[in-house]
């Protein structure tokens, strides 16, 4: 290969990160955009303050520019958000918002590095970098940045953990910490359980348990009152996170909630959850049996992410940042059509963003609107079926050392 091409390949991830960081921070400074005020980050800041000052963390609706919102994360989440509170006190909220946006983009860069490491050098790495630049500008990611959400941080913790970007950190530990910040990453325990059963490697499950219990215990130590309230009361109040029928809820529960006359909705949801978990387990088993490369494991973990997205009572549009890494893993495992479909779904195919919404209008959608609103759902189910049938990896993907014990 020509030396200039080698240089371009080597610097492609860095250049990609610089471009995305510059565009994201630059655009976020535009006074015409809502990025001048990151709604959810404002709640994070107030939650951290209440955690440390001893005031009621879970019985308060924190004031925002739109409406009062509750703090819905476990107590350890408030500890993680503490730097945002301290920064706001020191440099103001607007400057803190810019810092948080840059941190979120940096997390995506770490995801890009992990994915690039999982595929061969050369044109494959360039493809990953270029594709990730495009996916960073996808609707779920842009919505995450727009709201000041923590989705990219949680995703980076899990992907860098499974992809072993930081091999000195015990496997599973970062995923456990992510689950202590927000409970949905607990679903990744299925991946580590399958790894234990099929590879006789319990280290990941042990590491995840250690990270989750250690972080949760730390929060309990600093604020036992908030911890008791969360784990005995708040955890069971699903109505705190919004109405499930809202158009931007792309989960199975969201679909069923839009049919209020459906008497068996709860039963159908329960059965659907069991079917999805079983399908994901089979798909992951098929993937891991087909190979032990980092790419196999990254595809497996992105498939497991579909459990939380499909089965949670509420999966808002900005939660679907996992579609980006899933698209890249699908591309390099030969599922090119599904990869392109994933890219489309995050851009022109985010139909739920353009449908009539709020005020209960979702109950009166026509069949086409119901179908378009669940685009992510049907795409995810088709991905699971295709991977169960064909989990093979392209010939261009060279085997590498598997995950450590």
Q: Each residue of 167-185: pLDDT tens digit?
A: 999 999 999 999 999 999 9
Angle ∠(267,185,145) on CA atoms, nearest 5 = 105
* Rounded Cα–Cα distance for residues 73 and 67 (Å): 18
* Rounded Cα–Cα distance for residues 310 and 319 (Å): 11
Q: Is 372 helix (H, G, I), strand (E, B) or coil?
A: helix
Q: What is the pLDDT of residue 31?
A: 44
DSSP state of 59: S
**Secondary element (H or E) of residue 70:** strand 69-70
Q: What is the pLDDT of residue 14?
A: 62
Residues 6+ away with beta carbon under 8 Å from 62: 42, 43, 46, 47, 68, 69, 70, 71
- Cβ count within 10 A of residue 225: 13
Residues of the chain with pLDDT under 70: 1-36, 120-125, 127-128, 131, 134-135, 238-240, 393-405
Query: CA-CA distances (angstroms) from residue 18 to 14, 153, 157, 251, 330?
Result: 6, 18, 21, 34, 26
Q: Are the CB atoms for 355 and 369 separated by under 8 Å?
A: yes
DSSP state of 258: T
Q: What is the pLDDT of residue 21?
A: 60
Q: Are the CB atoms for 286 and 120 separated by under 8 Å?
A: no
Distance of CA 6 to the CA centre of its chain: 33
* Rounded Cα–Cα distance for residues 280 and 336 (Å): 20
Distance of CA 105 to the CA centre of its chain: 14
Token output for 313: 């009572």
Q: Are the CB atoms for 164 and 171 separated by under 8 Å?
A: yes
Q: What is the pLDDT of residue 262?
A: 82
Residue whose pair of structure tokens reads 């009572």 in the numeric block: 313
Torsional sign, CA 90, 94, 95, 96: positive
Token output for 64: 């925002």
Q: What is the pLDDT of residue 224?
A: 96
Q: Is 390 helix (H, G, I), strand (E, B) or coil?
A: coil
pTM over 0.85: yes
List own/partner pairs for 354-360 with CB under 8 A and 24 or more apart. 355/247, 356/247, 357/246, 357/247, 357/248, 358/246, 358/247, 360/245
Q: What is the pLDDT of residue 335?
A: 93
């Amino acid at each position: 290969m020509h030396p200039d091409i080698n240089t371009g390949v080597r610097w492609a991830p860095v250049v990609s990160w610089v471009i995305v960081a510059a565009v994201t921070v630059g655009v976020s400074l535009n006074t015409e955009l809502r990025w001048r005020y990151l709604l959810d980050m404002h709640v994070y800041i107030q939650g951290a303050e209440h955690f440390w000052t001893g005031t009621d963390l879970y019985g308060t609706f924190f004031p925002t520019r739109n409406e009062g919102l509750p703090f819905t994360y476990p107590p350890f989440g408030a500890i993680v958000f503490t730097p945002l509170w301290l920064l706001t006190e020191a440099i103001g909220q607007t400057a803190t918002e810019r810092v948080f946006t840059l941190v979120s983009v940096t997390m995506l860069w770490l995801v890009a590095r992990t994915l690039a490491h999982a595929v061969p050098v050369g044109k494959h790495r360039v493809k990953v970098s270029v594709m990730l630049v495009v996916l960073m500008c996808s609707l779920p990611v842009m919505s995450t940045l727009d709201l000041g959400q923590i989705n990219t941080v949680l995703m980076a913790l899990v992907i860098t953990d499974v992809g072993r970007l930081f091999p000195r950190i015990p496997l599973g530990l970062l995923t456990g910490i992510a689950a202590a910040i927000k409970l949905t990453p607990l679903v990744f325990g299925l991946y580590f359980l399958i790894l234990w059963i099929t590879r006789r490697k319990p280290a990941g499950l042990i590491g995840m348990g250690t990270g989750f219990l250690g972080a949760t215990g730390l929060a309990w130590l600093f604020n036992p009152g908030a911890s008791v309230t969360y784990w005995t009361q708040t955890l069971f109040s699903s109505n705190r996170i919004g109405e499930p029928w809202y158009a931007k809820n792309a989960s199975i529960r969201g679909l069923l909630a839009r049919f209020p006359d459906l008497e068996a909705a709860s039963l159908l949801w329960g059965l659907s959850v069991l079917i999805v978990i079983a399908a994901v387990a089979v798909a992951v088993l098929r993937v891991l049996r087909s190979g032990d490369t980092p790419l196999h494991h990254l595809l497996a973990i992105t498939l497991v992410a579909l459990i939380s997205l499909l089965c949670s009572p509420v999966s808002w549009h900005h939660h679907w940042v996992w579609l980006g890494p899933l698209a890249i893993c699908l591309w390099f495992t030969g599922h090119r059509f599904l990869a392109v479909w994933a890219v489309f779904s995050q851009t022109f195919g985010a139909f739920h963003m353009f449908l009539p919404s709020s005020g209960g209008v979702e109950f009166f959608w026509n069949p086409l609107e119901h179908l378009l609103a669940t685009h992510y759902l049907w795409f995810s189910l088709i991905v699971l079926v295709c991977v169960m049938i064909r989990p093979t990896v392209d010939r261009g993907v060279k085997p590498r050392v598997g995950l450590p014990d």
